[in-house]
Amino acid sequence: MNHDLLNKYHMELRVNAQTTGFRREETAHVVRHISEYDDRGFILASALTDHNARSVIQAEKEYFKQIGQSFEWKLFSYDTPSNLKELLIAEGFEEDEEEALLVLDLNKDKSLLNRQIPVELKEMTDENGVKDIVHLMDEIWQDKHGSLGKRLWQDKQNQPDELFLYGVYDGSQLVSGAWMYLEKGSSFASLWGGATQPDYRGRGYYKDLVAARAKKAHAHGYSFLTVDARPMSRPILERLDFQLLAYTYGMLSPK
């Protein structure tokens, strides 16, 4: 594990993060991000001990209840105390799928920057592109992503130089799509999405989408790409020289 890089990530994207579409609040124990849209909030960082963890968790549950917002406690494998996940579960939180925190140093590895991008891969800048991504996500995951589409379009209108969306089209049909945020005040660009229709997998589109975003991030002076990778995408990203820094767990607040 690269401890220097993990510390850089921790400070820039957890403790001091300024997330598009969210209002940052810092207390003595946690860093909250309150959604400005019809979406859930987050706790991105915490500094807890064996003695205060349970009381802080209960206080945060009450705080978000008072403002009428559900939230996700973003837990990392190095967070303290070591039994924080178990304490959250005991307080009614639901654990989402484990993801791997991966980071790529664009200044050390140029392979993505040199990858040729196919002509069918397009940058999407209008609302129709966002709608195409929502439709793609709905079909692949068999769920509704209307709130995601609303947030993406609002962010694209309000911060057009921070959010970039890409898709691979077969004619007028979007068959693979992804997006990226250039995280303000940091060295990191975060990768999201990367969903591909089953009939179009195995053609390298996932790598093409990563490469397109790497080129954009590098052109804007960002040094690192970061992604919370699910098991399906992790092997692809590690073959592209992404480094594993930690594991993450989305702990969803009680309903």
CATH of the domain at 138: 3.40.630.30
Same domain, yes or no, for 142 and 217? yes
Rounded Cα distance, 137 and 139, in Å: 5
Residue pLDDT, tens place only, 34-45: 998 878 999 999
Q: What average pLDDT does this structure show over 214-231? A: 97
Section 209-225 average pLDDT: 97
Report pLDDT for 199. 96
Residues above pLDDT 90, as percent of the chain: 89
Contacts for 123 with CB less than 8 Å, ≥ 6 apart: 164, 165, 166, 212
Structure confidence at residue 142 (pLDDT): 86
Helix (H) or strand (E) holding 103: strand 99-105
Mean pLDDT across 18-43:
92
pLDDT in tens, 121-159: 999 999 999 999 999 999 998 888 888 899 899 999 999
Which two structure tokens, joined as six digits, stand for 238?
A: 């590690």
- In 10 A of CB 119, how many CB atoms? 7
Range of the domain at 78: 3-100
Q: What is residue 250's predicted lDDT score, i.e. its pLDDT?
A: 97
Q: Residue 213 above 90 pLDDT?
A: yes
87 pLDDT more than 90: yes
**Spatial contact of 243 and 2, defined as CB atoms under 8 Å apart:** yes
Q: Say if residue 76 is in the same domain as residue 8.
A: yes
pLDDT band (50, 70, 90) for residue 20? confident
Do 217 and 133 belong together in one domain? Answer: yes
Domain boundary among 100, 124, 146: 100
In a domain, 254, yes or no: no
Give the residue from 239, 255, 226, 188 showing the smallest Cα distance to 99: 226
| Average of per-residue pLDDT across 83-98 | 97
Residues 6+ apart with CB under 8 A from 204: none
Mean pLDDT of the chain: 95
> Which alpha helices (DSSP H) does the chain contain, by range?
3-10, 53-67, 84-90, 127-141, 146-158, 205-219, 234-239
User: Does position 118 have pLDDT exceeding 90, yes or no?
Assistant: yes
Q: How far is CA 74 from CA 78, 98, 169, in A?
A: 12, 11, 33
Q: Does residue 115 fall inside a structural domain?
A: yes
Q: What pLDDT is recorded for position 36?
A: 87
Tell me if 129 is assigned to some domain: yes
pLDDT of residue 1: 66
In the chain, helix, strand, coil percent, each to 5? Answer: 35, 30, 35
Q: Provide the number of structural domains found in the chain.
A: 2
